[in-house]
Structure 1
Amino acid sequence: MKRYDLIVVGAGPSGLSAAIEAAKKGMRVIVFDENDRPGGQLFKQIHKFFGSKEHKAKVRGFKIGEELLEEAAKAGVEVSLNSTVVGMYQDKEITVRQGEEIFHYKGDAIIIATGAAENMVTFEGWTLPGVIGAGAAQTMMNLHGVKPGNKILMLGSGNVGLVVSFQLAQCGCEVVALVDAAPRIGGYGVHAAKVARTGVPFYLSHTIVKAEGEDHVTGVTIAEVDSHFQFIPGTEKHFDVDTICLAVGLSPMSQLLKMAGCDMVDDPKRGGQVPVVDEYGETSIKGIFVAGDVSGIEEASSAMIEGRIAGITAAKYLGYMEEAEMQESVSSNENALDGLRQGMFAPKNRGKLIEKTEEGIDISINLLKKGFVADDEIERFPGVTHQVGVHPVMECTQNIPCNPCQDACPKHCIRIGDHITALPAVDEFAKCIGCGMCVASCSGQAIFLVDETYEPGFATVTIPYEFLPLPEKGDKGYGLGRDGSKVCEAEVVEVRTAKAFDHTNLLTIKVPADMAMKARFFRG
């Protein structure tokens, strides 16, 4: 039996973060993961993260994964892949299947960071080939370069459903509809808005009746549901699709903790069966800690911070840190974690209808029900202003923990302030130079540069653009509104790419002057 100071189960963002912190304190650490590569979900995540600099804001998920792996290697963390932990016992002994053999390991402390598994829903035809989870779609697209399908219906409007829908469009798939049984969108409005302006229709208070096809999916029927989630007769809608993608939530993979005898609780707000833990992530069994989605479903940024806290407290538990040092380190991480747990999407607000922003502005009902802010609603938000010459227009309308735009602007045109969830506003005394750094840095692709006085009768709109093929200067097409409908003719007048933009291209289109505040996407 091999022995380590610390055993970490799961090489995702939380597990690697925990291992790094512990190894930095001189502990002998091993991480087990059942997959053939470490990093967990990070390497599927090609989008830019939210938060602040400390939270890896505006950095793409796979880059964060690369940074964590490099940091773990430097710290001396041993990572064992293709190693499935099949048993854990109260004396901190685990059994691991590696190949065709079972090995025994013992740790003086254990951190469980096994993450979560995708939920499924059942409906007629749900076992047909072509019905897949959103995570599987991401794996196919972003890890293996394979299109999951050609015409796809997405079920689920949480952040996963919204992000994957956008990535499906980037992959060249046609997302025919985004459907959710809930009466309002569950994820960030900025994620919904970037999907809506590509032309994807939202069907809230709808769900799948049946998948159609003999040996694979050839179509799908959805229908509206009432307040009790029962189908309303006569509301059926049919779509020709070859793929149905499900993004209906996650459940913590807490089986090892149950096996070890840790106290558990059924908490729907945290995703299901989760361990009872103290403020440091320690379970009812001393020396067994948890981090990440296994203790409650949150974003990867939160999981990394929880991992660091678990690694630090495990080091203190085994005598590698003094109490004062541990408290100082944990406190700074808890402050960072608390920052991510603020705003409209804070854990305490799950399931609640928030009607006003922190600033007292009415939330866009159209955004919650249709995925985009209506033209007659957008002007109420502080980031939407009118000026002579080029200026930023920030269509960030919900209080989410994110502020990279404030740091990105070299002229300090954008201000959010000390409270990370505040809506961005424009400093009327600062002069925009049109560099586009704010547009490229926005994780929600919610910032545009507008020149309402470009030339007589015309304006320009600079939009973030992450699709291929990239349009060229002189290309003519259409400007699409926030709902994805054609609102005007448009001509590409400039295309900018730069290393600092991190693969977000800036596309400047010329549109009629009265479309400056309406055209938000380009289609050739």
Structure 2
Amino acid sequence: MNRYDLIIVGAGPSGLSAAIEAAKRGMKVVVFDENEKPGGQLFKQIHKFFGSKEHRAKVRGFVIGQQLLDEADEVGVEVVLNATVIGLYQDKEVVVKIGDEVIHYKGDSIIIATGAAENMVTFPGWTLPGVIGAGAAQTMMNLHGVKPGQRVLMLGSGNVGLVVSFQLMQCGCEVVALVDAAPRVGGYGVHAAKVARTGVPFYLSHTIVKAEGDNKVTGVTIAQVDSSFKFIPGTEKHFEVDTICLAVGLSPMSQLLKMAGCEMEDNPKRGGQVPICDEYGRTSIAGIFVAGDVSGIEEASSAMIEGRMAGVVAAEYLGYVRAEEMEAELSVLDNALDGLRQGMFAPKNRGKEIAKTEEGIDISKNLLLHGFVGDDEIERFPGVTHKVGVHPVMECTQNIPCNPCQDACKKGCISIGANITSLPIVVDNSQCINCGMCVASCSGQAIFLVDEDCGDGTATVTLPYEFLPLPEVGAKGKGLGRNGQIVCDAQVVSVKSAKAFDKTNLLTIRVPKEYAMKARFFKAV
């Protein structure tokens, strides 16, 4: 029987992070993953991550995945793919199906990092071809280059639904509507805003009545629901679509832990049935640890830190590091994880409706109900300022853990301060040089460079643009407002792409000066 110091199940962000930390300390580590490519969800993530430098902020997910693979290779981690773990038994015996073989392995310690599976909802027609999960859509688009459909309806307004809706449009799909039975948008406001300004309508307090079609999806009917989530007669709305995408949450894949005899609990706040464990992933069975979504649903950034924690704890369990070394390292990781668990979307705030920001500013009701901040609300946020000449306008209106804009501005125009969840501000007496680094670095695409008065009755707006083909200089079109509706004529005056922008292009449009603080997207005509 093959024996390892540490066996890890799952080559996603948490599993690879755990493997790196353990192998760095001299452990013999193997990682098993059932997929043909390692990296888990990371290689589906083409958007830039939130957080700070220590969380790999403003780096795209697939780049982070490659970084982790390179680090794992450097420290000698063995990664076995197309390897399905079918059993975890007493004395840490792991049974793996590789090809046609069933092989037994023995681990002196085990880390389960199997992640989570997509939830589904049932409705008439839900088994028709064309009804897919958001993760499946990402796999098709971002791993295999396959367009999931032409006209798509998205169910779910959490971060997954919002991010995948944007990626569907980047892929060339038309997202006809974003629907959620909840009464308010569940994900980050900046994610919702970048979808809304492209013209996608949000239908909150709505859900699917039925999918239509005989052999495949040809349409969908939605309807409004009351506070008991019952359909309200007469509120039905029909859309002709060929794809219905479901982003209705995740459930931890914790079956191996239950098989091993770990103590389990049903915990809705953590996503379902999860192992009872401490903050560093120690389960009720000595030497079996967990990391990532299998112990509670969070973002990939948190999963990577949890993986590092589990790797360090496993190393201490087998004597590869002293207890005091482990405690010092865990203290650093605790601080990093705590930074991600602050703000309005902190785990302690799940299910709560937050009325004010940490600064005491009223939350945008329109953002929660319709996906965009209203023109009558935007001025109350500190990043929205008026100055002569080009200056940043930061439409970041919620307390989320993110500060790349502060680091990006070499002239010190932008400040968030010591608290990573504070709303960004424009520093008094600072001078913007129109470099565009703040626009390109913003993970939420919420920063614009505005010259409110060019002296000829026009203004310019520089906005982040991640669609192809890029408009050409001189192209005429329409400026869309935050709600995705046409507000004015617009003309492209500059298109900038640079390696430092990491595939976020800077599109500068000229608009009538009265629309300088309203035009937030360009649509060619």
On whether the aligned pair clears a TM of 0.5, the verdict is: yes
* CA displacement 1:27-79 (0-9 Å, x = unmatched): 00000000001000000000000000000000000000000000000000000
Letter in 2 for 1:201: P
> Structure 1: how far apart are the matches of 2:432 and 2:463?
16
Aligned to 2:166: 166
Letter in 2 for 1:420: I
Aligned to 1:183: 183
Q: Are 1:55 and 2:60 matched, yes or no?
A: no
What percentage of residue pairs aligned between the two structures are identical? 80
Aligned to 2:400: 400
Tell whether the 8 Å contact from 1:90 to 1:285 is kept in structure 2 after alignment.
no
Q: Are 1:220 and 2:220 matched, yes or no?
A: yes
> Structure 2: how far apart are the matches of 1:42 and 1:252?
17
Letter in 2 for 1:251: S
Aligned to 2:240: 240
> Structure 2: how far apart are the matches of 1:144 and 1:103?
30
* CA displacement 1:232-284 (0-9 Å, x = unmatched): 00000000000000000000000000000000011101100000001221000
> Structure 2: how far apart are the matches of 1:279 and 1:204?
35
> Structure 2: how far apart are the matches of 1:506 and 1:180?
32
Aligned to 1:88: 88
Tell whether the 8 Å contact from 1:6 to 1:29 is kept in structure 2 after alignment.
yes
> Structure 2: how far apart are the matches of 1:506 and 1:279?
42
Aligned to 2:111: 111
TM-score, structure 1 length as denominator?
A: 1.00
Aligned to 1:120: 120
* CA displacement 1:320-352 (0-9 Å, x = unmatched): 000110000011001100000000000000000
Task: Give 3-state SS (helix, strand or coil) of 2:377's partner.
Answer: helix
* CA displacement 1:120-166 (0-9 Å, x = unmatched): 00000000000000000000100111110000000000000000000
Residues 287-302 of structure 1 aligned to structure 2 (within 5 Å): 287-302=287-302
Residues 372-391 of structure 1 aligned to structure 2 (within 5 Å): 372-391=372-391
Residue 89 of structure 1 and its aligned partner are, at CA, apart by 1.1
Letter in 2 for 1:299: E
Tell whether the 8 Å contact from 1:196 to 1:372 is kept in structure 2 after alignment.
yes
Task: Give 3-state SS (helix, strand or coil) of 2:192's partner.
Answer: helix
Residue 90 of structure 1 and its aligned partner are, at CA, apart by 2.5
Residue 290 of structure 1 and its aligned partner are, at CA, apart by 0.2
* CA displacement 1:383-414 (0-9 Å, x = unmatched): 00000000000000000000000000010100
Task: Give 3-state SS (helix, strand or coil) of 2:30's partner.
Answer: strand
Task: Give 3-state SS (helix, strand or coil) of 1:368's partner.
Answer: helix
Q: Are 1:413 and 2:419 matched, yes or no?
A: no
> Relative to structure 2, which stretch is displaced further, 147-156 or 452-461?
452-461
Gaps in structure 1 of 5+ consecutive residues: none
Residue 454 of structure 1 and its aligned partner are, at CA, apart by 1.6
Residue 100 of structure 1 and its aligned partner are, at CA, apart by 1.2
> Structure 2: how far apart are the matches of 1:508 and 1:316?
54
Tell whether the 8 Å contact from 1:266 to 1:273 is kept in structure 2 after alignment.
yes
> Structure 1: how far apart are the matches of 2:279 and 2:246?
34
Aligned to 1:277: 277
Task: Give 3-state SS (helix, strand or coil) of 2:148's partner.
Answer: coil
Tell whether the 8 Å contact from 1:182 to 1:206 is kept in structure 2 after alignment.
yes
> Structure 1: how far apart are the matches of 2:280 and 2:428?
44
Residues 3-402 of structure 1 aligned to structure 2 (within 5 Å): 3-402=3-402
Tell whether the 8 Å contact from 1:181 to 1:206 is kept in structure 2 after alignment.
yes
Alignment size in residue pairs: 524
> Structure 1: how far apart are the matches of 2:67 and 2:455?
46
Residue 191 of structure 1 and its aligned partner are, at CA, apart by 0.1
Aligned to 1:426: 426
Tell whether the 8 Å contact from 1:138 to 1:164 is kept in structure 2 after alignment.
yes
Residue 456 of structure 1 and its aligned partner are, at CA, apart by 2.0
Letter in 1 for 2:43: F
> Structure 1: how far apart are the matches of 2:195 and 2:447?
15
> Structure 2: how far apart are the matches of 1:99 and 1:53?
40
* CA displacement 1:475-498 (0-9 Å, x = unmatched): 000000000000000000000000
Letter in 2 for 1:478: K
> Structure 2: how far apart are the matches of 1:156 and 1:32?
32
> Structure 1: how far apart are the matches of 2:350 and 2:281?
21
Task: Give 3-state SS (helix, strand or coil) of 1:454's partner.
Answer: coil
> Structure 1: how far apart are the matches of 2:455 and 2:104?
73
> Structure 2: how far apart are the matches of 1:286 and 1:362?
48
> Structure 2: how far apart are the matches of 1:445 and 1:298?
22
* CA displacement 1:280-331 (0-9 Å, x = unmatched): 2100000000000000000000000000000000000000000110000011
> Structure 1: how far apart are the matches of 2:154 and 2:379?
30
Letter in 2 for 1:513: K
Letter in 1 for 2:132: I
> Relative to structure 2, which stretch is displaced further, 381-390 or 93-102?
93-102
Task: Give 3-state SS (helix, strand or coil) of 1:87's partner.
Answer: strand
> Structure 2: how far apart are the matches of 1:163 and 1:175?
12
Aligned to 1:463: 463
Gaps in structure 2 of 5+ consecutive residues: none
> Structure 1: how far apart are the matches of 2:278 and 2:37?
31
> Structure 1: how far apart are the matches of 2:3 and 2:276?
26
> Structure 1: how far apart are the matches of 2:472 and 2:412?
30
Letter in 1 for 2:98: Q
TM-score, structure 2 length as denominator?
A: 1.00
Residue 101 of structure 1 and its aligned partner are, at CA, apart by 1.4
* CA displacement 1:343-398 (0-9 Å, x = unmatched): 00000000000000000000000000000000000000000000000000000000
> Structure 2: how far apart are the matches of 1:454 and 1:499?
29
> Structure 1: how far apart are the matches of 2:48 and 2:224?
34
> Structure 1: how far apart are the matches of 2:431 and 2:278?
49
Tell whether the 8 Å contact from 1:14 to 1:303 is kept in structure 2 after alignment.
yes
Task: Give 3-state SS (helix, strand or coil) of 1:5's partner.
Answer: strand
